[in-house]
Structure 1
């Protein structure tokens, strides 16, 4: 028993501590965006947010932006479209649902990634991925329909659920081009495309440029700068943090969002809180792998 415990002992490193702080910050952004939706349309806000992120990254990376390749422009374009759809639908949904609900539903993108990889790349999910999907779907039933006992999705919840498909698609696209492109140049392109696409989506959504207030400007600019700095920090931290450990840390994002929402006065039903816990558990389980040891199977985590 002692040997088993020592194998799973987690000694917190500086990069892991930074990722935990980043996860706390991301959890707090749901409350900020939810409040911003009382003053702005969703696509204008997302466009302004990523325009700021683009400008901030340009300040850090302008010396390395020469020599764009067609592959980098293509990768940046499609990843940017996925980002625009993901964040745009998520923000649109927060016009009618709480930040806590949005955070829990958004977390579904992690167990959805293996399913999309199966559909798009023919890579069959493992047993733990299926278990994670089952737990997350059960959690969604409770978050979305705690009173009806079924999957009664409101328009805001449906938009947020669709946003998870776009976010999962973004991850798959990033993985498909990983190691084949310059990450700084692609990041600049994808953020710029996400901003432009979001501004264009204001037209079909019937949005107007809102009256600018200090809170709205501060929220959009602050989130944009934070997005740029966090992107750089995550790239640095994950050089020494395994993908599984990083995912376990990121699984805490909806928990932090629920905590900050609670402080701000959001009150989710008990069934919805249980559903959120199941979704987080599904995220964690989906990242566990079954390994064969001496003919027997055991659950292992990547260290």
Structure 2
């Protein structure tokens, strides 16, 4: 008996929730921030810019959440400090890398944090990744090799690419920490603490890295304020949307972030060699595959006599 055509259409791709549509818009905004940060590095050092960006994000979030602050606990402060430290390292190193590599390269290398997460969980927590996670990790690392130094016969990492890869590792740690504290803390209070911690530590990092306060620039001011407000908006929107969007669907949507960054970068005149584009595509594919799960068919029950 022939089946209906409707049954062959994957409902996963047909039904889109309003929250998922909002996440797509947020991902587009997120992807566009790479070019803005890349341009800001022409007038500022990385850690001053990151500190200013997250200071703005902290103030913006406090305006919306100040009533919840009096109930903060030491546990929430500890959670915020741990997460904020990983954010400082992730964004700080990523921004340092943007001084020497394109925004497109930075976005695709940063996306490596998704397949790195299950690898870290295995090394630190002893949770063995599933087969799809291993396939995703393999695809992503092959893509990383192709993306790194495509004009070099040795495919060696440049300084900026290496810093960005380490930043992806820090972001993966951030994801694991957020998962560890989830459900045990107030989201708004912890978010404020983590943003404030990232800002303060970024300013403190200026001394050991020999970075000085840059001269006043209207572009620096507007970009830091704009990205700070965008960071607060992205964080709040993600927390709201992911209450009803599964982690797998959310990750597939977030996989579009480097794609949007690549589109914005190309519009701005950035060009990646063909082999680098293949590597970028493998990284995105690895991100998606690493979040897929194989569903096992349930064994048919044998009727007892």
TM-score by length of 2: 0.94
- Partner residue, 2:281: 277
Larger radius of gyration: 2
- Partner residue, 2:95: 91
- Note the alpha carbon deviations across 1:2-48, whole angstroms, 9 max, x for none: 53433444322211111000000011100000000010000000000
Correspondence 1:128-207 to 2 at 5 A: 128-207=132-211
RMSD of the alignment, in Å? 1.4
- Note the alpha carbon deviations across 1:197-217, whole angstroms, 9 max, x for none: 000111111111001211110
Aligned counterpart in structure 2 of residue 292 of structure 1, from 282, 293, 296: 296
- Partner residue, 2:303: none
- Partner residue, 1:81: 85
Equivalent residues, number: 296
- Partner residue, 2:21: 17
Go from structure 1 to structure 2 and tell me whether the alpha carbon gap of 1:283 and 1:149 turns closer, same or farther (over 3 Å shift).
farther
- Partner residue, 2:236: 232
> What is the deviation of 1:149?
4.9
Correspondence 1:196-275 to 2 at 5 A: 196-275=200-279
> What is the deviation of 1:103?
0.3
Distance 2:197 2:162 in 1: 24
Q: Does the aligned pair in 2 maintain the 1:142–1:149 contact within 8 Å?
A: no
- Note the alpha carbon deviations across 1:128-161, whole angstroms, 9 max, x for none: 0000000000100111032335440111000000
- Note the alpha carbon deviations across 1:91-138, whole angstroms, 9 max, x for none: 000000000000000000000000111111111100000000000001
Aligned counterpart in structure 1 of residue 57 of structure 2, from 53, 58, 70: 53
> What is the deviation of 1:188?
0.6
Distance 1:99 1:276 in 2: 13
Distance 1:148 1:294 in 2: 50
Q: Does the aligned pair in 2 maintain the 1:93–1:160 contact within 8 Å?
A: yes
Question: Which stretch of the first structure deviates more once superposed, 66-75 or 287-296?
Answer: 287-296
- Note the alpha carbon deviations across 1:39-74, whole angstroms, 9 max, x for none: 000000000000000000100000110122121111
Q: 1:290 aligns to what SS in structure 2?
A: coil
Distance 2:8 2:285 in 1: 21
**1:40 aligned to 2:44?**
yes
Distance 1:63 1:9 in 2: 40
**1:28 aligned to 2:36?**
no
Q: 1:62 aligns to what SS in structure 2?
A: helix
- Note the alpha carbon deviations across 1:238-296, whole angstroms, 9 max, x for none: 11111111111100000000000000000110111111000000000000001210459
Question: Which stretch of the first structure deviates more once superposed, 96-105 or 68-77?
Answer: 68-77
TM-score by length of 1: 0.95
Distance 1:40 1:256 in 2: 25
For structure 2, which runs of at least 5 residues remain unmatched after alignment? Answer: 301-305
Q: 1:257 aligns to what SS in structure 2?
A: helix
For structure 1, which runs of at least 5 residues remain unmatched after alignment? Answer: 297-303
